[in-house]
Amino acid sequence: MTSKGDLTKARLAQSMLELIQASGYSGTGLNAVIEHASAPKGSVYFHFPDGKEELGVAAVALAAKQFEAMIIQAAQSAGGAGEAAKLAIQALAAIISDSGFRLGCPVSVVTLEMGDSSERLRQACATAFESWIAPTAALLEADGVDRAQAKSLATVIVSTIEGAAILSRAMKNTQPLLAAADAVGELIGLRRQGEGTQS
Q: Would you say 80 and 143 are in contact if contact means Cβ atoms under 8 Å apart?
A: yes
In CATH, what number is assigned to the domain containing residue 70?
A: 1.10.357.10
Q: Can you give the residue range of the structural domain that contains 141? A: 61-198
Total domains in the chain come to 1
User: Is residue 26 assigned to a domain?
Assistant: no
Residue 39 falls inside a structural domain: no
In a structure prediction context, what are the per-residue pLDDT tens digits for the chain, which is 199 residues long? 668 888 999 999 999 999 999 899 999 999 999 999 999 988 999 999 999 999 999 999 999 999 989 888 888 887 788 888 898 999 999 999 999 998 889 999 999 999 899 999 999 999 999 999 999 999 999 888 888 899 999 999 999 999 999 999 999 999 999 999 999 988 888 766 555 545 4
Residue of 136, 127, 143 whose CA lies nearest to 160: 136
This prediction's pTM = 0.87
